[in-house]
Chain A
Amino acid sequence: MRPLHLTALTVASAIGTGQAATLTGLQERRTCLRPSDFGDPAIGGHIGRIDALDSHNLPPGLAEFDCRNNRLADLTLRGDGFVDAIETAKARHGAGRIAVVLGTSTAGIQSAERAFRHRDPATGSLPADFDYRNTQDMFALPRFVRAALGLRGPALAISTACASSARSLIDAANLIRAGVCDAAVVGGADSLCQMTLSGFAALDLISPTPCRPCDAARSGISIGEAAGFALLQRDPGGADQPIALLGYGATSDGYHMSAPDPRATGAIGAMRQALERAGLDPEAIDYVNLHGTGTRANDAMEDLATYSVFGSETPCSSTKGWTGHTLGASGIVEVVIAALCIRHDFMPGCLGVDTPDPDFRANVLIQNRQSPVQRVISNSFGFGGINCSLVLGAAA
């Protein structure tokens, strides 16, 4: 395929707000996970929490969107000159020609959790100030981001569990390539909530320690909250150090609703498709950013997939030791991390890993490495057996 371009990027996670803080956190190998202090009683092992959300206010006129997830989206949008880049794009393409295609697994469901705890004891009805449409509803996220950025093009909420924001790049690429729009705001947001903390605990997938992806003794995930946004368009558009979306692949496992296929067929298929679409051999990839959640099953499956496609030389690692598993947002967070690796020629080694799993055959990094990075493949896998792989590179 002809590459598309990511001409503006912004991110917020437990590492920090903005690309510079994210880069510093990655390079200094600072752990950002802490024992859960979320919920009453607090549950969920260690978490990647963004403290600024508790006090962040939405801009005037957008109060009806107020919820943790939209606050997270707003905080992120305000960083990295993203709003200015959108203004430039609006002047160039027109607000009606820029789509908003955003991934989220749970949107603003924390608002519903709170509303359910404050039901009217007599009637059972929810508090009058609970705004389903603008908070809990899946479409609340793109609705809010459109309103915050003054965009008027087609809008979609993509919700494919932990592959949501990765898939948003693919769906937006299809709209741009088909001529439906000229550019798209892609990415997404997922914020801490009781539902995911309790749900992953029910599946016995929460690590009692900060998550240690690829470690021999890994014991599950740590959940984090994060958001990231990118402007996707056909050409580099005069951006400083634009990143190219060179290829993408998407498959389904057709295997199980919450367990990965141990044969890794779907993950292998997604990576091979992404390389094929990019017109690249596996040797052209310098670094693999793994989905690497820290569960026994995911990491073993992904090692098999990575080894099958790339062999035992290509360096790979997971950055979830920093951010935690940010669920639907993990794809876009790791797109921004891939962009930082490409711009600053480094690869982050898995954080918190003492002993890589001796059964793994891929080349798992456990220390940062400074070396040229031109192309990165980034994996995102989700419940329901959804697999997405993205190939990113320095724009030609």
Chain B
Amino acid sequence: MNVFVAGIGVRGPGLDGWVASAPILRGAEPWTPTAAVLPAPTMLAANERRRTSQVTRLALAVAQEAADMSGLPAAALRSIFGSSNGDGATIHSILDALSDAAGAVSPTQFHNSVHNAAAGYWSIGAGSAQAASCIGCHDATVAAGLLQASAEAMIERRPVLLCLYDAPLPEPLGACRPISGMFGAALVLSPEPLPGAPQLRVAYHQDPPAAEATRLPALEPLRQNHPIARILPLLEMLASGTPGSLSLALIDGRVDLDLFPAASVAACSTALASSP
């Protein structure tokens, strides 16, 4: 499958948006892992904004950044939202209430607990009528999300927003599924070439991947300790602006990614066009 990366968003420790993070990810600037900074979700009206949790704000921040960078109208994007834990803090708080005979579940908490809450707020904020799907694939969420979003972009011939996000679970649930900090990333994948958009070839293979690792050793612990940070090697490759290949593990098997930066895509197209 061939798609073009039209927009990128990222929020994580010391990674405050793609523009600020790209020089860090290509090793030109040092990485200082301060806690992720989350902008207020300005796409939502005040009453909806008040109801959003931190993890939804994380998802909306990276989705909006990627959509803005793509130059495509947010309302025109189909979407795949991926998260291992969804809104784990809200689910934790409901579980806590249910364990107490006097505890009550609030209606807002309950509708925020659905795994597609962030996708719902996105469609409200973007005024989007486009299809949305929401996946949860544990440590394979990034790999499965790339596979699913690329397939949808290719079959529907429409751009797809892939929005990936996770936050730590409160204790005691956190001990069952340790996740280090908030980390989210989003890509807008277009089936058609767009100016400046690198080409990404996405393929499923049945054999497991070779060892995965970030190029920058300092980022490797983050990659290992957060399901969404599994995307860091791809973000490093995108930041480098040079061609590259890597694999991401599925539960069995792998997704192979081959990146061709926009300059080499253009050169390749020109060469093809001028060949007899």
Contacts and interface: CB of A to CB of B under 8 A. Distances in A.
Contact of A132 (B99, B135, B177): B177
B206 A96 contact: yes
Contacts of B85: 137
Given A137-B84, A174-B155, A383-B120, A251 B129 contact: yes
A202 B148 contact: no
A122 to B, nearest CB: 12
Contacts of B96: 116
Contact of A202 (B104, B126, B177): B104
A86 B203 CA distance: 24
B146 to A, nearest CB: 11
Interface in B107-141: 107, 109-117, 119-121, 123-124, 126-138, 140
A214 interface: no
B250 interface: yes
B137 A175 contact: no
Contacts of A256: 124
Interface in A6-29: none
Interface residues of A, number: 66
Contacts of B206: 94, 96-97, 152-153
A167 B128 CA distance: 18
B133 A113 contact: no
Interface string A270-284: 000000000000000
Nearest to B139: A139
A266 to B, nearest CB: 6
A97 B253 CA distance: 10
Nearest to B128: A254
B20 interface: no
A159 B252 contact: no
B173 interface: yes
Nearest to B250: A154
Contacts of B104: 198, 202
A161 B99 contact: no
Interface string A99-134: 000000100010011001101000011100010110
Residue picked from A152, A199, A265, A266, most chain B C-beta under 10 Å: A199
Nearest to A117: B99
A160 interface: yes
B71 interface: no
B115 A174 contact: no
A269 B131 CA distance: 10
Contact of A112 (B95, B110, B128, B154): B95
A130 B173 CA distance: 10
Interface in B160-180: 171-173, 175-177
B136 A137 contact: yes
Contacts of B114: 105, 159, 161, 382-384
Task: Please report whether the interface of chain A is mostly helix, strand, loop or mixed according to DSSP.
Answer: mixed
Nearest to B117: A384
Contacts of B126: 254
A15 to B, nearest CB: 26
Nearest to A146: B251
A298 B124 CA distance: 19
Interface in A218-260: 250-258
B152 interface: yes
A186 to B, nearest CB: 13
Interface in A156-174: 156-161, 167, 170-171, 174
Contacts of B154: 178
Interface string B76-110: 00000000111000010011101100001111011
Interface of B: 1, 51, 84-86, 91, 94-96, 98-99, 104-107, 109-117, 119-121, 123-124, 126-138, 140, 144, 147-148, 150-152, 154-156, 171-173, 175-177, 204, 206, 250-253
12 contacts: A116-B96, A124-B171, A132-B177, A156-B135, A156-B137, A160-B134, A174-B148, A175-B151, A199-B107, A258-B111, A265-B129, A384-B119
Interface of A: 94, 96-97, 105, 109, 112-113, 116-117, 119, 124-126, 130, 132-133, 137-139, 142-143, 146, 152-161, 167, 170-171, 174-175, 177-178, 180-181, 194-195, 198-203, 250-258, 265-266, 269, 382-386
Given A116-B98, A385-B124, 10 more contacts: A137-B177, A139-B138, A153-B253, A157-B135, A160-B116, A160-B119, A175-B151, A202-B104, A250-B131, A253-B129
